[in-house]
Amino acid sequence: MNKAREFDQSVVAELRALLGERVSTSAAVREHHGKDESYFPYALPDAVVFPHSTEEVRDVVDICRRHRVPMIPFGVGTSLEGHILAVNGGVTIDLSRMNHVLAIHEEDLDAVVQAGVTRKQLNEHIKHTGLFFPIDPGADATLGGMTATRASGTNAVRYGTMRENVLSLKVVLPDGRIIQTSRRAKKSAAGYDLTRLFVGSEGTLGIITEVSLRLYPMQEAMSAAVCAFPTLRDAVDCVLAVTQHAIGVEFVVKGCPRRVAIDY
């Protein structure tokens, strides 16, 4: 049964009353949102919306919930495991136009961004401060999408993953409530750790609209080297030894059948 054929067009009418031109049912836009970087075939949503604010996301969620229509949060669609496929149709909520850096707290080493800001956009925005955000999955993904997939990257050995670097989130829950999971303060232990519940929730628990993140000072000096090892075991032992000596390093391991190289 093709669930997409059952889509209630009055949903589109209500979405248009809310967002006007920022609702699309065109084939091209639906196709763009019906495929990620995985090998899975296209699965198109029935409509795509482009909210600008947390309140607009909440109002979209309210419409979808009343009509019992699936909702798919969407960053820039770089995920690798079919996350954003609309297998039962529904409405894709594209957060990419929520792309404002809301606050930079240089002295506290943190930033607050809308979920559609990409990691490169954030680093460009703060480069004059001498700070940077280190999590670097290959794609220039949104920070909302990176939070939802608990992304990591080449800097994970030194700086951790999104799990260690998200301080707080603003989230629209499926019932339309807007919650803030925590405060910016790094020491904050009252109640459940909701932040960590949403990091890695892959769009299933709520729609992240704002992210507070740790920032780090840029190194004053960096050097790079390539070391070749006869086996993967030797390379891993070297990484462990260097890390245990508390030497700040970032590793990229490149493997081929006959040798393993580490750039650092």
Ligand X SMILES: Cc1cc2nc3c(=O)[nH]c(=O)nc-3n(C[C@H](O)[C@H](O)[C@H](O)COP(=O)(O)OP(=O)(O)OC[C@H]3O[C@@H](n4cnc5c(N)ncnc54)[C@H](O)[C@@H]3O)c2cc1C
Tell me which residues touch ligand X (CB under 6 A): 36-37, 72-80, 83-84, 95, 115, 137-139, 141-142, 144-146, 148-149, 151-153, 202-203, 207-208
With residue 210 as reference, give the H or E element that holds it: strand 207-214
Please state the closest distance from residue 182 (CB atom) to ligand X, in A. 16
Q: What is the DSSP letter of 13?
A: H
Left (φ > 0), alpha (ψ -120 to 50) or beta: where does 89 sit? Answer: left
15 vs 208, beta carbon nearer ligand X = 208
129 vs 154, beta carbon nearer ligand X = 154
Going by C-alpha positions, the residue among 141, 151, 173 that lies closest to residue 76 is: 141
What is the distance between the alpha carbons of residues 51 and 93, in angstroms, rounded to a whole number? 7
Please state the closest distance from residue 83 (CB atom) to ligand X, in A. 3
β-sheet bridge partners, residue 94: 74
Please state the closest distance from residue 191 (CB atom) to ligand X, in A. 21
89 vs 153, beta carbon nearer ligand X = 153
Question: What's the Rg (C-alpha) of the chain?
Answer: 21
Going by C-alpha positions, the residue among 229, 234, 264 that lies closest to residue 249 is: 264
The gap from C-alpha 161 to its chain's centroid, in whole angstroms, comes to 11
Please state the closest distance from residue 28 (CB atom) to ligand X, in A. 17
43 vs 148, beta carbon nearer ligand X = 148
Coil, strand or helix: which one is 171? strand
23 vs 85, beta carbon nearer ligand X = 85
Going by C-alpha positions, the residue among 230, 221, 228, 224 that lies closest to residue 253 is: 228
Please state the closest distance from residue 205 (CB atom) to ligand X, in A. 8
Residue 225 carries which side chain, given as an amino acid letter?
A: A
16 vs 32, beta carbon nearer ligand X = 32
